[in-house]
Amino acid sequence: MGTYRISQVTDRTGVPATTLRFYEQAGLLPAGRSAAGYRLYDDASLDRLAFIASAKGLGLQLEDIAELLSVRQDGACVDLRDKLRPLVSARLTLAQNRVDELTTLSDQLTDTLARLEVLPASESPCTDDCGFPHPAKEVPIACSLAAAGQDTRAQRWRELLGTAPRERITGGIRVELPAALASAVAELVVAEQQCCPFFAFRLRFAADVVQLLVQAPEQAASLLDELFGPVVQARQP
């Protein structure tokens, strides 16, 4: 088993010495001491450091990593898996929500840029007609369908979505369906937008599945569950 000084660990792993000292102070990476007082690490330390780097790459907090290291050292593999799964699942949900937020922002920026490209080269003061982005007009939270039509539409959604799992995203829900239903989903989305423009829809395609993302203003949040079914917790990876 090799023994390494802190400078050698930095050379082998690329982790700065200041970070190694911080990990030691935080209880994540204990170090031995030479007779002269220099920090000493062994192969187990390098393996532990690699685990810390992987966990940080997943965005886990240091306190969570400390618990994982303890389980990894003293428990069985299944114990580490059971401890890690909910942490990774929570990080995945957070990452997906951020993707949704960034996608919405990207759409807004793209639309704004397109309007700026055609902005007239006028030297007069800018008005509401010159194309510069202004706050979006509030869309009424109301469906233009009669009661019977609303019931029929809701039934169509229930039949199409079936028991597909619903997951919460920022301001809405995500439903994953077989890709074979993409055409039917798109057709129903178009119909829904015509009568309920306050819903925002997006479709994402990945391999053999299609994801339907539906968002609505806060005051219409209850309508999401009524129309698209109850939301469940994010599935375990």
State the pLDDT at residue 235: 43
- CA nearest to 26, candidates 57, 2, 61, 55: 61
Instruction: Give the mean model confidence (pLDDT) for residues 173-186.
Output: 88
Phi first, then psi: what are they for 116, rounded to 5°?
Answer: -70, -30
Quote the tokens at residue 150. Answer: 């609303």
Higher pLDDT: 165 or 36? It is 36
Closest CA to 150 of 213, 217, 226: 226
How many CA atoms does the CB half-sphere of 205 hold within 13 Å? 8
Cα(202)–Cα(106) distance, integer angstroms: 13
Higher pLDDT, 98 or 191: 191
Q: Which pLDDT score, from 0 to 100, does residue 139 have?
A: 63
Give me the pLDDT at residue 236, please.
39
Burial class from Cβ neighbours inside 10 Å (0-12, 13-18, 19+) for residue 235 reads exposed
Q: Is the pLDDT of residue 188 over 80?
A: yes
CB 28 within 8 A of CB 65: yes
Per cent of the chain over pLDDT 90 is 24
**Average pLDDT value for residue range 120-145:** 66
Give mean pLDDT, residues 51-63. Answer: 91
Statement: the pTM of the whole predicted model exceeds 0.75: no
